[in-house]
Amino acid sequence: MNLKLITDIARSLLLARWKQTLVAAIGVTFSITMFIALLGFMNGLNDLLDGLVLNRTPHIRLYNEVKPNDHQPVNQYKDFRSSYNFIRSVKAGANRQELYNSSAILATLGKDERVLGYAPKITSQVFFNAGTNDITGVINGIDVEEEIRLFHFKDYVTSGEAIDINRTSNSIILGKGLAEKLLANLGDVVQLTTAGGERFPLKVVGYYQSGIADYDKVQSFASVKTVQKIMGKPGNYITDIQVKLKDMSKAPAMAKEYSNLFQCDAEDIQTANAQYETGSFVRTLISYAVGITLLIVAGFGIFNILNMMIFEKMDSIAILKATGFSGRDVKWIFLIIAMGIGFLGGIAGLVFGYLLSLIIDQVPFTTSALPTVKTYPVNYSPVFYLIGATFSLITTYFAGWFPARKASKIDPVVIIRGK
Amino acid sequence: MANCILEAKSISKYFYDPVKFKVLTDISFRVNKGEFVSVTGKSGCGKSTLLYILSTMDTDYEGDLLIDEETMRGKKEAQLARIRNEKIGFVFQFHYLLNEFTVLKNVMLPGLKLNRLSAAEVEHKAMEKLKMLGIEHLAGKNANLISGGEKQRVAIARAMINEPHIIMGDEPTGNLDMKNAEIVFDIFKKLAEEYDQTLLIVTHDLDFAKRTHRIIELEDGKLV
């Protein structure tokens, strides 16, 4: 088979019918454009929504749950060891929320190669005093530098500087909703009461906005030291350690390992946020389904146009066959026509898809729920471009295959006799 | 006999639609090198059918066909296409030029397909053929922009590009006026006598047939 000659003939047939070719190519271009823009936009949105939770969720969280002891005395007693014991009204014992031996745990984490970083944290219930009202809230003592590095804390501090809670003593960053309830402006001092009944004045140095309103109505942040001081605890008192791993997929296994090693509870991100992955998966699935449907529709367009072209070119096919072109040659001529349309349309589609993504990326999108986002998010992953290119060739190949096979089966005698 | 280009050995052919009908019965003849043979007969006597069998395009027949002393029985479609490309040139009643190409490219196509010579050599040869037929000035024109008589001459040039063993014609003058028919006939005659080209032409034009070297006459699917 003489590929150069076949390509040459295919090109001439294409150019002779350039209007039809253009229409078919525009069909492919349109579908690839939409495919790229849709997937880029959908995944940008997915990343944003996932990031909303996943970015600031530790891969493994070490803590002590308030829960009844697994080893109840009756089960330990040797007479009842072989029987099944029902115990009513089991209550949690006087176990502490503190992580035991926290400095040793931190040192071990520091040496672990798989760990990207960790941030100690203290969480405590407090009351904020607004006039005569007490508003329940949560104060988080955080290592602000590590929080910024690992969990993008800075992105969520909408007014003031996150780092100020380290710089200014007795300072606090309030959740946006909480600050509104307290009518607290930057620089104001708010009073809070600990569970133990002690009152503390703290200076407001920033607002925190996560995008989840209920969360913002109760949360507040101060440095670890400040919270230890409020609660009257020593410098090694920590209730949580948040661990970020180099490879997130190892979290469930490592959570088990740490739980055994440190004798505390360990929760991995997959267990904590399973529903977010499901949501992303379904959204991605829908966008692929729509994109591929568009491509298949474009494929039918090419199929139609090639079929028409074959009817028009019956004579040419007959004479090509009479002068020595085999059925296979004819089939390849039409396949190359189809794939040429797919290739040109596909390339244009990738370019237009990229341009459309750029345009979407410029459309303003402000919502109080997402303080860091100013325009619609778009994901520019080359994977979509690769899939788009591959699919444009595959669909046009199949769209061309049936008409091409028909052309290859044309009997020149029937055509020539018919005249 | 030496130089037998084409031999039909008791070829029979049936049509099945609408009823089984024997079109050709036991046709045997040979064509030697340099002969100018015409096949005549009344309309519907099967002469075109015979030509398509001889041209290898129709493979549904009984008997045997030898081209260049090689049997065509049991050959695959691609092999037959190769033989048509290499050994047979066609001129049809209708010219069948590809409108997408220039005259020159139309002539060159079978040569490029054969792929024995380089593109430049094929082009040179195509120009030679066009010159021989007195139409070299048309080379750069698009095939749909020339007259009917010219088209038929281009078709002859295309038939000759691969130096075929035999040129087959199916009513090559059927669509032409007297003057152009005369030109085409003269070309065939010249090819046969000056270039020793073997020709097998199907025609119902008895005047045309009488001026060829040999007439094969068909009547109701049989040789007369």
Q: pLDDT tens digits, residue range A300-316? A: 877 888 788 888 888 88
Q: Please give the average per-residue pLDDT across B130-154, as a whole number.
A: 84
- Stretch B111-124: mean pLDDT, rounded? 85
Chain B residues with CB-CB distance to A326 below 8 A: 77-78, 81-82
For residue B1, the model assigns a pLDDT of 45
Interface touch B110/A323, C-beta < 8 Å: yes
CB-defined contacts A:B, below 8 A: 81
Please give the pLDDT value at position A174: 93
3-state secondary structure of B98: coil
Under an 8 A CB cutoff, do B109 and A320 touch? yes
pLDDT in tens, A188-233: 999 989 888 888 899 999 999 887 888 889 999 999 999 999 888 8
Q: Say if residues B10 and B63 touch (Cβ distance below 8 Å).
A: yes
- Contact residues, chain B to chain A, C-beta under 8 Å: 48, 52, 55, 57-58, 77-78, 81-82, 84-86, 90, 92-94, 96-101, 109-110, 112-115, 158, 162, 170
Residue numbers in B near A327 (CB within 8 A): 77-78, 81
Select from B86, B96, B101 the Cβ nearest to the Cβ of A315. Answer: B96
Quote the CA–CA distance of B20 and A305 in Å, as a whole number. Answer: 38
Task: Give the pLDDT band of residue A369 (cuts 50, 70, 90).
Answer: low
Residue B96, pLDDT > 70, answer yes
pLDDT of residue A354: 94
Query: Taking CA atoms, what residue in A is nearest to B158?
Result: A323
Mean pLDDT over all residues of chain B?
84
Subunit contact B77:A326, Cβ cutoff 8 A: yes
Mean pLDDT over B121-150 rounds to 85
**Per mean pLDDT, which of A133-137, A245-249, B171-175 is the most reliable?**
A133-137
pLDDT of residue A1: 59
Does A71 contact chain B (CB < 8 Å)?
A: no
Choose the weakest-confidence range: A41-45, A367-371, B22-26, B62-66. Answer: A367-371
CA B149 to CA B95: how far, in whole Å?
9
Q: What is the pLDDT of residues A334-367, one digit of tens each?
A: 889 888 888 888 899 999 999 999 999 898 887 7
Nearest CB to B98: which of A316, A329, A411? Answer: A316
pLDDT value, residue A371: 66
Indicate if the pLDDT at residue A272 is higher than 80. Answer: no
Does residue B2 have a pLDDT over 60? no
Q: What is the pLDDT of residues A142-160, one digit of tens each?
A: 998 988 888 888 888 888 8
- Record: contact B52-A319, CB cut-off 8 A: no
Among A12-16, A82-86, A177-181, B90-94, the range of highest mean pLDDT: A177-181
Q: Which one of A16-25, A87-96, A381-390, B57-66 scores highest in mean pLDDT?
A: A381-390
B85·A325 Cβ contact <8 A: yes
Instruction: For residue A71, name the pLDDT band (cuts at 50, 70, 90).
Output: confident
Q: Tell me the per-residue pLDDT of B209-222, one tens digit each, with 9 for 90 and over.
A: 888 888 888 887 77
A315: closest CA of chain B, how far (Å): 6
Judged by CB atoms closer than 8 Å, whether chains meet at B78 and A327 is answered as: yes
Residue with tokens 């007969």: B41
